[in-house]
Amino acid sequence: MKELIIAFGLLLFIEGILYAIFPSKMKSMLRKLEFVKDSQLRSGGLIFAVLGFVIIYYIKG
């Protein structure tokens, strides 16, 4: 459970630092997201989720 909280904190830190350092680029990127199809977002999200699971599995195993 401790690792999960650390991972969540790291996620928030990385995302927050990107918005703090590159606010205009992050806005631009979010605007471009409107033109991406839902199926592409879903596929990308699934790929990243599986990749994250595999990394965690190998590190913990």
- Please check the confidence at residue 3 and state whether its pLDDT lies above 90: no
**Which tens digit of pLDDT belongs to each residue from 19-47?**
999 999 999 999 999 999 999 999 999 99
Model pTM?
0.67
- For residue 60, pLDDT over 90 is answered with no
**pLDDT at residue number 59:** 86
pLDDT of 40: 96
pLDDT exceeding 90 applies to what percent of the chain?
77
- To the nearest 10 degrees (0 to 180), the angle between helices 23-32 and 2-21 is 100
pLDDT at residue 1 in the model: 83
CB 18 within 8 A of CB 26: yes
